[in-house]
Structure 1
Amino acid sequence: MTALSPPSPDRAPARAYLSRPGPWLVAHRGGSALAPENTLVAFDRAVALGADALEIDVRRTADGAVVVFHDDDTARLTGVPGTIEARTLEEVGRLDAAFGFTPDGGATRPLRGKGVRVPTLAEVLARYPGLRLNIDAKPDEAALAEALAREIRAAGAEDRVCVGSFFDAQAERLAPLLPGCARYLPEQAATCHVMAALSGQAAEGCPSGYDVADLPHRMGEIEVVCPKVVEHFHGLGIPVHVWTVDDPVEMGELLALGVDGIVTDRPDLLARVLGR
């Protein structure tokens, strides 16, 4: 197993986020197989299991609040259709964030109606002051990027947050807003690096300035995280975190490969694999 590679000296503002030795246990949405995803219930459990970081998603309400929520539509998780973006914070606060959660394939819904709600980012930052957060800005909206940056700066949390987005434009938008935060590669930038690694090419033509490679283990028939890809990113001083891995055998194989972190819905299983 390899430790997290430190960023190059010109990336000094991000060094604090990456200073924790690896391999990391990163709880995907707090560990969504164990508790309602992206809720304080899930985050508390992940922390109790020894998570090194939480992977969370954020959206902006109609009145400008940043809340922790993944889906475009609220129906799957809360039982009520609609969007976060069309609701005020007060309206979001009335949603049951545990409505759809089941630990047993739908046989039971143990936390439905128990008052589990969608948390704000400010609540999460305040509740876990020493914990690292990997934050995915879901929509490609400038207003979300600006609101997210305000919340992180207000909490003084730049040194313990890694920010990014699936969308390359949003990821680039966040860079000048949060110069002290680590940033993970968005889709197109990551694809460029992976294709360069698999073809044995240098990285000169790929976007630079990113600090973490958050990659899927596989995409269809393609094994994305393989020795060539890990070697490529480690050669650039960029740690590799792999999502979303819930099988203990697969976890062990990836750790043997030298990945620096695993993002999982089963932090309990990964903790066991890591000997915690």
Structure 2
Amino acid sequence: MTSWFTPPAPRVIAHRGLAVGAPENTLLAFLEALALGVTHLETDVHATSDGVAVISHDPDLGRLTGRATPILQSSLADLQRIDLGHDQRVPTLAEALHAFPDARFNIDIKSDEALRPAVAAIEHEKALDRVLVTSFDDTRRKAAVAALPGVATSPSSRGVVLAALAARLPLTALRRRSLRGLHALQVPESFRGVPIVTPTLIRAAHESGVEVHVWTINSPADMRRLLELGVDGIITDRADLGLEVLDDFETAGG
């Protein structure tokens, strides 16, 4: 059994760590989130030219440093010479898993090249039971799940669409089929003006034993509203605010 879903929901999931006083997706950003009491970290992985899984949302560091060379064309040594600010470097997935052995990691595998290195890092750190793997590409997600038997997972974009559509239909078997093999449904609240997170979706997911996590929610008012609606996780850039809202929600008996 995976321990990713402990402690029990509802939970705050720190999106790229807490990047208020630290660069996103760095060991410092993860440390600052965990120091507040966060148990779950969301992050992303790409592969270097020498086949190492490194943590970065974008395929290059242009947004963060102005250096637009693709990560896939950079060696690990080249990347780790770049200061992201606050004396932080691009960490490897293995480094992050090793540095925070009690943290739960939500890992989005961003490219086909990152698949094998990510699996290798998870296996090397014996972190199978505390990671959840996902990808916007369903073939890539399924390959990761096949390589890591028993790992927790949430659907690709295609899977999210299928689950949202199935939840609107009065066919219980179809709803269950759309959620088969999944442990969490990680979704935006809406897409192109169409609501995704609805009481019907939450009920359908819970009937199948699947949690619902909503991204990326940074407004305390929206966090509280979603918790009252019954979601299991808030994925947020502001884990500090999220923990305050969750504490108030639970104190009030939510």
* Cα 1:247–1:200 shift into 2, 3 Å: farther
Unaligned runs of 5+ in 2: 249-254
Unaligned runs of 5+ in 1: 1-12, 99-113
For residue 145 of structure 1, give the secondary structure of its aligned residue in structure 2.
helix
The partner residue of 1:130 within 102, 123, 128 is: 102
CA-CA distance at 1:35 after TM superposition: 2.7
State the Cα RMSD in Å. 1.5
The alignment status of 1:151 with 2:151, answered yes or no, reads no
How far apart, CA to CA, are the structure 2 residues paired with 1:85 and 1:30?
23
The alignment status of 1:71 with 2:58, answered yes or no, reads yes
Provide the residue aligned with 1:47 in structure 2.
Answer: 34
The alignment status of 1:217 with 2:189, answered yes or no, reads yes
> What CA deviation, in whole Å up to 9, does each residue of 1:185-237 have, x standing for no partner?
11101110111112444325536211111111121211211101101111110
Provide the residue aligned with 2:80 in structure 1.
Answer: 93
The partner residue of 2:178 within 196, 206, 211 is: 206
Of the structure 1 ranges 197-206 and 263-272, higher mean CA displacement relative to structure 2 is found in 197-206
Equivalent residue runs for 1:104-119 within 5 Å: 114-119=86-91
* Cα 1:267–1:83 shift into 2, 3 Å: same
The alignment status of 1:162 with 2:159, answered yes or no, reads no
The alignment status of 1:255 with 2:227, answered yes or no, reads yes
> What CA deviation, in whole Å up to 9, does each residue of 1:240-268 have, x standing for no partner?
11100000000000000111110000011
CA-CA distance at 1:64 after TM superposition: 0.9
CA-CA distance at 1:50 after TM superposition: 1.1
How far apart, CA to CA, are the structure 1 residues paired with 2:137 and 2:128?
21
For residue 54 of structure 1, give the secondary structure of its aligned residue in structure 2.
strand
* Cα 1:43–1:204 shift into 2, 3 Å: closer
CA-CA distance at 1:79 after TM superposition: 1.6
> How many residue pairs are counted as aligned between the two chains?
246
CA-CA distance at 1:34 after TM superposition: 4.7
How far apart, CA to CA, are the structure 2 residues paired with 1:169 and 1:20?
30
Provide the residue aligned with 2:208 in structure 1.
Answer: 236
Give the number of the structure whose residues are more often helix, by fraction.
2
> What CA deviation, in whole Å up to 9, does each residue of 1:155-181 have, x standing for no partner?
111000001101101001111111131
Tell me which stretches of 4 or more aligned residues in structure 1 moved more than 4 Å: none
Provide the residue aligned with 1:10 in structure 2.
Answer: none
For residue 94 of structure 1, give the secondary structure of its aligned residue in structure 2.
coil
How far apart, CA to CA, are the structure 1 residues paired with 2:236 and 2:108?
15
AA paired with 2:163? H
Provide the residue aligned with 2:165 in structure 1.
Answer: 195
TM-score if structure 2 supplies the norm length? 0.92
How far apart, CA to CA, are the structure 2 residues paired with 1:262 and 1:207?
20
How far apart, CA to CA, are the structure 2 residues paired with 1:209 and 1:221?
28
For residue 275 of structure 1, give the secondary structure of its aligned residue in structure 2.
helix
Provide the residue aligned with 1:29 in structure 2.
Answer: 16
* Residue pair 1:34, 1:265 contacting (<8 A) in 2 also: no
Provide the residue aligned with 1:184 in structure 2.
Answer: 154
AA paired with 2:133? V
AA paired with 1:117? R
* Residue pair 1:29, 1:54 contacting (<8 A) in 2 also: yes
How far apart, CA to CA, are the structure 1 residues paired with 2:237 and 2:179?
30
AA paired with 1:183? T
Provide the residue aligned with 2:251 in structure 1.
Answer: none
How far apart, CA to CA, are the structure 1 residues paired with 2:6 and 2:96?
21
Give the number of the structure whose residues are more often strand, by fraction.
2
AA paired with 1:190? V
Of the structure 1 ranges 31-40 and 155-164, higher mean CA displacement relative to structure 2 is found in 31-40
The alignment status of 1:58 with 2:30, answered yes or no, reads no
* Residue pair 2:64, 2:84 contacting (<8 A) in 1 also: yes
Provide the residue aligned with 2:252 in structure 1.
Answer: none
For residue 133 of structure 1, give the secondary structure of its aligned residue in structure 2.
strand
Provide the residue aligned with 1:9 in structure 2.
Answer: none
How far apart, CA to CA, are the structure 2 residues paired with 1:185 and 1:261?
15
How far apart, CA to CA, are the structure 2 residues paired with 1:188 and 1:34?
35
* Residue pair 1:34, 1:266 contacting (<8 A) in 2 also: no
AA paired with 1:125? L
